[in-house]
Amino acid sequence: MDETRFQDIRMISAAGAEESLALRRMAEEAEAYVRAFPWCPPIKRGWLADGAGGIIAVCLFEFTKSLSSGDRKLWVIVGDFPRACVAVLPDDSPHAAVKRYAAMLDRWIDRVMTFQPAAWGEYPLELEPTLSEAKVVRMKVDFLRTEILPFLE
C-alpha cells in the first residue's frame, strides 16, 4: 500500500475550508476512537486515506509496535456511520477497507434482524441491537455502497 497518496492527519487539506475542517475533525475523532482502546499502542503516524467531510473519513494509523494480530497498521472509519476499526490486508486500499466494513455491518444487521446473539469475535459496534437501529444502519450501508464506495480509491 502506498501511503504517499494519503494526507497526514495533521495537515489535511480539501477543496474548501469547510471541507478541510470537517475532515480534520473526523480524523481527530478517528484517532481518539482508536486511542481509547486499552490494547492501542502509541501511534507513530496517521493518515486520512479518503473521505467526505461530515459523511465518512477513512483513516490509516501506524503504531510504534505490533498489535496482537501482528499488524502495525489499522484502518479506522468514522463519520455518519458506526465507528469501527478494520484490519489492513496486503495490497489494501481505502475502497477495499470500506467494502469489508460494509460487509461487517451487513453481518450485524442480519444478526439483529434474525434475533441472533452476538457471535464470538464479532466486532463490538457502538449500536443498540434493535430492529429499528438495524433498519437505520441498513439505509446507511445502502447509501455507502451506492453513493460513497464508487468514489473511493
Q: What percent of the chain clears pLDDT 90, i.e. is strictly above it?
A: 75
Say if residue 145 is exposed, middle or buried (CB neighbours under 10 Å; 0-12, 13-18, 19+).
middle
List all residues 6 or more positions away from 38 whose beta carbon is below 8 Å from its beta carbon. Answer: none
Position 120 scores a pLDDT of: 65
Average pLDDT (24-48) is 96
List all residues 6 or more positions away from 18 whose beta carbon is below 8 Å from its beta carbon. Answer: 53
Task: Map out the domains of the chain as residue ranges.
Answer: 3-151
Position 115 scores a pLDDT of: 86
- 6, 93 contact by CB (below 8 A): no
Separation of alpha carbons 46 and 27, rounded Å: 9
* Average pLDDT score, the chain: 91
Average pLDDT (117-140) is 85
For 32, the grid coordinates are 481518539
H helix or E strand, kind and range, residue 10? none
